[in-house]
């Protein structure tokens, strides 16, 4: 998958999609983006800044959604121009796609929406790179049909993201077999922080087990993948969305060093045939 002008997902280096969960403010986004951009370069990752312009899938209607669509997109555009980095954000409705695609380089399809044909087709028609998260209810082999929907528009620039499956009870389970299965259809990214999320576990908000993130991330890297998705924040305890599963910004240097080592191990075997 080609991202922007010069990043290749599935090429000779891993790609890091990272930033805060949601657009909170321009200052926070610039602080996180500039720090992670430098760390990504230090450890040999290509970098894409991530922040959701609208958190439309929160557990409760009282939860933080954002600073407004237009303001959030303005923040994203400023971050991209200031830091000279490509951008990724989620789209939840078909009507959002065109306006968002004018700003970002990668459109992310949330896990709950990976079967939404109209949304996938609208995203594919933009010609932008499309990053689809595997639904918590989807078998990994069935994600080929989501990829096919995007490619039916003539847009072959598509990748898949693994974030675990759900059995209910506020927990997600990651089956590492899903990574090579989905990689038969498209490049694969591992969502480090949502894989340790505990949806709805905090009485109307999501909890998380960030202490488990290093174990899953290392395993995914060693399994042979193309990129990592990581949400980070200077102070996760006050982040307005998904704080319990975020990696503290001060820990990202060591975290990326660890991931690069795991990725280099997995890169030797990622083209190993399943047959």
Q: What's the pTM value of the predicted model, to 2 decimals?
A: 0.93
Closest by CA position to 127, among listed 150, 159, 96, 95: 150
Contact 153, 125 (CB under 8 A): yes
What pLDDT, on a 0 to 100 scale, did the predictor assign at position 241? 79
**Residue 203 CB burial class (10 angstroms; 0-12, 13-18, ≥19):** exposed
What pLDDT, on a 0 to 100 scale, did the predictor assign at position 65? 74
Alpha-carbon span 171 to 186, nearest angstrom: 27
List helix spans (H) across 126-271. Answer: 143-151, 178-182, 213-223, 252-267
**Residue 94 CB burial class (10 angstroms; 0-12, 13-18, ≥19):** middle
What pLDDT, on a 0 to 100 scale, did the predictor assign at position 87? 98
Contact 7, 46 (CB under 8 A): yes
Phi, psi of 247 (to 5 degrees): -90, 125
What pLDDT, on a 0 to 100 scale, did the predictor assign at position 38? 98
Instruction: Return the CA Rg of the chain.
Output: 17
Q: Which domains does the chain have, with CATH numbers?
A: 2-267 (3.20.20.70)
The DSSP code sequence of 19-34 is E-SB---HHHHHHHHH
What pLDDT, on a 0 to 100 scale, did the predictor assign at position 128? 97
Torsion of the alpha carbons at 189, 25, 86 and 234, rounded to the nearest 10 = -50
Strands annotated E in 113-220: 129-133, 158-162, 165-166, 172-173, 188-191, 197-198, 207-208
What pLDDT, on a 0 to 100 scale, did the predictor assign at position 41? 98
Q: What is the mean pLDDT of each run of 10 residues along the chain (275 residues)?
A: 94 96 96 98 98 78 78 97 98 96 98 97 98 96 98 98 86 92 97 84 66 94 96 92 88 98 89 74
CA 250 to chain CA centroid, Å, is: 20
DSSP state of 93: S
């Amino acid at each position: 998958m080609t991202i922007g002008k010069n990043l290749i997902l599935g090429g000779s280096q891993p790609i890091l999609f990272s930033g805060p969960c949601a657009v909170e403010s321009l200052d926070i986004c610039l602080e996180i983006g500039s720090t992670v951009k430098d760390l990504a370069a230090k450890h040999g990752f290509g970098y894409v800044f991530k922040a959701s312009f609208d958190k439309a899938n929160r557990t409760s209607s009282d939860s933080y959604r954002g600073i407004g669509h237009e303001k959030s997109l303005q923040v994203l555009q400023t971050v991209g121009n200031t830091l000279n980095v490509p951008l990724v954000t989620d789209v939840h409705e078909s009507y959002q796609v065109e306006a968002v695609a004018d700003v970002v380089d990668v459109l992310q399809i949330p896990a709950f929406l990976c079967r939404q044909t109209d949304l996938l087709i609208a995203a594919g028609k933009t010609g932008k790179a499309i990053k689809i998260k595997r639904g918590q209810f989807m078998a990994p082999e069935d994600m080929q049909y989501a990829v096919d929907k995007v490619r039916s528009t003539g847009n072959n620039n598509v990748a898949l993201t693994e974030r675990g499956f759900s059995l209910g009870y506020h927990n997600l389970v990651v089956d590492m077999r899903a990574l090579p299965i989905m990689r038969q259809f498209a490049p694969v990214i591992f969502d480090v922080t949502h894989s340790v999320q505990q949806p709805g576990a905090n009485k109307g908000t999501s909890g998380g087990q960030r202490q488990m993130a290093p174990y899953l991330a290392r395993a995914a890297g060693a399994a042979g993948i193309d990129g990592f998705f990581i949400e980070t924040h200077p102070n996760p305890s006050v982040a307005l969305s998904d704080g319990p599963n975020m990696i503290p910004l001060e820990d990202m240097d060591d975290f990326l060093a660890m991931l690069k080592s795991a990725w280099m191990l997995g890169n030797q075997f990622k083209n190993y045939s399943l047959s």
